[in-house]
Amino acid sequence: MLILIRHGKAVEVNEWTGLDRDRPLTDEGRERTEKLAKGSRFLLKKLKDPLLYTSPYVRAYETARIFGEVWDLPVVKNTLFEPGWNAEKLPPDYETRDLIIVGHMPDMKEVLYAVTRGQAAIDFQPPSLAAISFGKNEPRLVTYLTWKVL
């Protein structure tokens, strides 16, 4: 299974004077991310030895840390998942290994579309997640969750 997670709500660009990569989550973003992480724990039952990767950008890393704490998983920063990544940068075993990736829009939408071979397109809201299953059949979107539905 591949789980794609869009980071939580971050400080707005026009309210931030530092580098974009350093924009943190807002308090609301942290609260909503924790709600999503707790409400989606049921997915762990479907995973075997999952790896949790994240973009090193602060807002994504903070989101991944929240998921890592709630799901009891270590977090691995990887520059491959900085803004601008695509499905071609996924590890070669993504269809057979359980992976969780925290990243950014529009990358998450484009990767979801690519790995489902055009069968799923979602405008990920901050924070939200999509789980894709790779069974004997075509890859398919099996879960889409936002903090709002939990």
pLDDT tens digits for range 102-113? 999 999 999 999
Number of domains in the chain: 1
Average of per-residue pLDDT values in the chain: 95
- Decide: 3 and 129 in contact? Cβ < 8 Å: yes
pLDDT at position 84: 96
| Reported confidence tier of residue 43, pLDDT bands at 50, 70, 90 | very high
For residue 142, the domain's CATH number is 3.40.50.1240
3-state secondary structure of 50: coil
Question: If we measure between CA atoms, which residue out of 109, 120, 110, 113 comes closest to residue 142?
Answer: 120
Helix (H, G, I), strand (E, B) or coil at 59: helix
pLDDT at 82: 97
